[in-house]
Structure 1
Amino acid sequence: MANEIVIAQTTIDNEDQARALARGAVESKLAAGVHIDAPITAVYWWKNEVETAQEWRISYMTTTDRLPQLEAWLSEKHPYDVPQWITLPVTGGSEAYLSWVVEETTRD
């Protein structure tokens, strides 16, 4: 179904870059809104080593219609070789909020 709501997430190791990725997506109408979580600790495998890093989680509220453009935009802007990119379906919520997400991500 067109315009289903999703939350797309990535992480980055710099708060200023997190803010830039958030603002750029909203200004481009790729996301209606973005949440940046306080620093989290990431533990992961990278090049045969266990790494630990401080990161900021960025959650984009968008639609399935805008998701491909958001993913392509983020791929160009994100400095990581392999950035986290996951999407979570929104299975419910207030009709007013869900309508707002659709309205704000629709190009004029």
Structure 2
Amino acid sequence: MKEISAKEVQQHIENGEKLNLIDVREVDEVNAGHIPSIIHIPLGLLEFRTHELDKSKPYIMVCRSGGRSGQATQYLESQGFDVTNMTGGMLSWEGKVE
């Protein structure tokens, strides 16, 4: 499983790169604060919403601490997606939140 740190993700965003971030936390967690321009797909709905994703794009998975996003990363990898887990999750995020 590919991994990237929250700091590396933040640096990419600050450098103006467009990232495809998928936040797999629950609605109340995302409403409490999330990285700008995320795609929100709760982990429990991921298998039902994979048709919304594009296999030609790389995705970075985000959750609270990295556990659920790790599960999501493994699942999407098994479905043929280019996906990376953001280690440490939102607990490690120091960048802008909405």
If you compute each CA radius of gyration, which structure gives the higher value, 1 or 2?
Answer: 1
Counting helix residues as a fraction of each chain, which structure ranks higher?
2
* TM-score higher than 0.5: no
Counting strand residues as a fraction of each chain, which structure ranks higher?
1
